[in-house]
Amino acid sequence: MSNTIELALDGLSCGHCVKRVKESLEQRPDVERADVTIEHASVTTTAPADALIETVKQAGYDATLAHPKANPLTESSTPSEALTAAQPELPAANNADDDDSRQLLINGMSCASCVSRVQNALQGVAGVTQARVNLAERTALVMGHASAADLIAAVEKAGYGAEAIDDDAERRERQQQTAQAAMKRFRWQAALALAVGIPVMIWGMFGDNMMVTDANRSLWLVIGFITLGVMIFAGGHFYTSAWKSLRNRSATMDTLVALGTGAAWLYSMSVNLWPQHFPMEARHLYYEASAMIIGLINLGHMLEARARQRSSKALERLLDLTPPVARVVTPEGEKSVPLAEVTPGMTLRLTTGDRVPVDGDITDGEGWFDEAMLTGEPVPQQKAAGDAIHAGTVVQDGSVLFRAAAVGNHTTLSRIIRMVRQAQSSKPEIGKLADRISAVFVPVVVLIALFSGAVWYFAGPAPQIVYTLVIVTTVLIIACPCALGLATPMSIISGVGRAAEFGVLVRDADALQRASDVDTLVFDKTGTLTEGKPQVAAIATTGDITEADALRLAAAL
């Protein structure tokens, strides 16, 4: 006889994982049906639970026997169901958080090759079930039970920097400070490099042919040392990063920049110092190329940092839905305390206009609550003693006392924020393909550059050394995989963040990619499509009544 067995799943991160577990279970002859989400499986079967758990493990994931839980936010396959369902019981919410997810701020990443190295380093730490590294936000979302010290040590060993900050407000502040500092640094570095590169390029094009002669040799030598200063002060981070990568036996975008600009400057300085060793046609200088390349790439980094800040504002708006303080009712009277000090069981007061600080149940009074940010329902809901209320919703009218039930990371709003953050850090299949390409991209580009240079050196026209240098430098610089590594994460952050701003939650990037094939969208109620705030679109009057009179009478009513 068939019965339904509930399993708690661990290690799943996207729709592909869900599909794999579902197919593995349904391939068993003793399984009639399997309903699978990221954290839960409900299996109708004649098989024992141990056999099902073993099947899940063979698919590459973990499972334990569980009882049905009322935790719609994490287990419903449809976000709208999750947010309109009843408030989950506190124990279920707490259990969902037993598996820690920790967010790290990463320093020093510049391309998709860096992402691959950091991700592999984090996934190699004992206790980590999954790591998602986001190049666009310079963050890593790590799931599992590893300590922050072990994670930071793994990142530093890979040649990068990391910070672990548990407090959301502090992390946001630190992230904003880092982003602002990076943007300012890239701005002045780009300005310095372009201030040198552009005049030299214009002078070389229209005033001089950039060839060394006895008359201009000293002037070009001065320009060469000025360019060296630009490379040190405005482009030093490229060479430092390239050296760290070399020590870790890897190559990144910075490796290409360092090789290209370094080769151009060294060749130019050699020509400048010892022109007699070069044929007349080979005495061309490339100082402006080194300065321009450093300036333009720094300018690109600055624009990227600015776009990154804009795209993360939507998540910040969600975080801002929680008020910083709450009014706690004590035997001595009411007092305002920081939100971090509110614990389950405390009694809190809400009045008209207040935003609910934590999840809880009303014990006294009644009021009308605007829950549109949770349910999409524009009409305020009347709540009285015994009804559940949620953090982030607003009291439109009334005054109530309520008992705190879920606080901190256990509130419905916190789980929504966690869902958005995980979605922003997830990768669709096209993003994973880009990462796989980027992992081998830089070494392949270096080989192509050397091969191309060798062809021009041995088979090209004279002066071969000039053509060789130009070809090698061109390949190294133009092949920088910035766009390859940034296009997907930047679009995901912007898309998911903008959707969250309008109340649409995306579970992962795979869902976003699959949504591009959707041709029909069916809504279960009109409240999700309208604002619920009627507005006067037109005024029609008859007789002697003017529009002004009609408005005055309507306002009086």
Contacts of residues 231-234 at CB distance under 8 Å and 24 or more positions apart, as own/partner, are: 231/261, 231/262, 231/265, 231/290, 231/291, 231/294, 233/189, 233/192, 234/189, 234/190, 234/192, 234/193, 234/294, 234/295, 234/298
- What is the rounded average pLDDT of the residues 44-48? 85
Query: 289, 325, 315, 304: which is closest to 205 by C-alpha?
Result: 289
Whether residue 70 has pLDDT greater than 50: no
Distance separating alpha carbons of residues 437 and 434, to the nearest angstrom: 5
> Hey, what amino acid is at 28?
R
- For residue 309 the two structure tokens come to 């800040």
Q: What is the mean pLDDT of the chain?
A: 79
Whether residue 26 has pLDDT greater than 80: yes
Most confident listed range (57-71, 73-87, 287-301, 314-328)? 287-301
Whether residue 89 has pLDDT greater than 60: no
Distances (CA, A) of 200 to 99, 288, 291, 398: 58, 6, 9, 70
Distance separating alpha carbons of residues 247 and 241, to the nearest angstrom: 10
CB-CB neighbours of 238 under 10 Å: 26
SS3 content of the chain, % helix, strand, coil (to 5): 55, 15, 30
φ, ψ of residue 48 to 5 degrees: the values are -70, 160
For residue 157, the SS3 value is helix
For residue 19, the SS3 value is helix
- What is the rounded average pLDDT of the residues 466-482? 72
Q: What is the DSSP letter of 276?
A: G
The H or E element containing residue 165 is: none
For residue 88, the SS3 value is coil
Cβ atoms of 54 and 31 closer than 8 Å: no
- The residues pairing with 389 across neighbouring beta strands, listed in sequence order, are 360
pLDDT on residue 400: 93
- What is the rounded average pLDDT of the residues 112-124? 81
Distance separating alpha carbons of residues 228 and 385, to the nearest angstrom: 73
For residue 371, the SS3 value is coil
Whether residue 478 has pLDDT greater than 80: no
Query: Taking phi first (over 0 means left), then psi (-120 to 50 degrees means alpha), and beta for anything else, what does residue 392 get?
Result: left
- For residue 205 the two structure tokens come to 């094009």
Whether residue 82 has pLDDT greater than 50: no
| Percentage of the chain lying above the pLDDT 90 cut | 15
pLDDT on residue 225: 94
Whether residue 133 has pLDDT greater than 80: yes
Whether residue 5 has pLDDT greater than 60: yes
pLDDT on residue 212: 84
Cβ atoms of 268 and 286 closer than 8 Å: yes
Whether residue 477 has pLDDT greater than 50: yes
pLDDT on residue 6: 86
Strands (E), 464-555: none
- For residue 57 the two structure tokens come to 């493990």
Whether residue 373 has pLDDT greater than 70: yes
Whether residue 222 has pLDDT greater than 70: yes
Confidence category of residue 85, pLDDT binned at 50, 70, 90 = very low
- For residue 280 the two structure tokens come to 């007349």
The bridge status of strand 161-164 relative to strand 333-338 is unpaired
Output the 3-class SS for 402-446: EEEEECHHHCHHHHHHHHHHHHHHCCCHHHHHHHHHHHHHHHHHH
pLDDT on residue 99: 47
φ, ψ of residue 14 to 5 degrees: the values are -155, 180
Output the 3-class SS for 29-82: CCEEEEEECCCEEEEEECCCHHHHHHHHHHCCCEEEECCCCCCHHHHCCCHHHH
- For residue 192 the two structure tokens come to 């310095």
pLDDT on residue 74: 37
- The reply to whether omega before 463 is within 30° of 0 (cis) is yes
**Among all chains, which residue has been given the structure tokens 């009411």?**
334
Whether residue 507 has pLDDT greater than 80: no
Confidence category of residue 361, pLDDT binned at 50, 70, 90 = very high
The H or E element containing residue 124 is: none
- For residue 480 the two structure tokens come to 């920088």
- For residue 355 the two structure tokens come to 């935003």
Distance separating alpha carbons of residues 81 and 79, to the nearest angstrom: 5
- Report the range of poorest mean pLDDT among 99-103, 279-283, 542-546: 99-103
Catalytically active residues are 524
Helices (H) and strands (E) in the chain, counts: 20, 15
Distance separating alpha carbons of residues 515 and 506, to the nearest angstrom: 10
Cβ atoms of 356 and 371 closer than 8 Å: no
58-68 in b/e burial notation, b at 16+ Cβ within 10 A? Answer: ebebebeebee
- What is the rounded average pLDDT of the residues 130-141? 78
- What is the rounded average pLDDT of the residues 456-477? 79
Secondary structure (DSSP) of 75-130: H-SSHHHHHHSPPPPHHHHHHHTSS-EEEEEEES--SHHHHHHHHHHHHTSTTEEE
- For residue 104 the two structure tokens come to 């790290």
- For residue 499 the two structure tokens come to 């959707």
Task: Please provide the distance, in angstroms rounded to a whole number, between the alpha carbons at the two ends of the chain.
Answer: 67
pLDDT on residue 532: 64
For residue 287, the SS3 value is helix
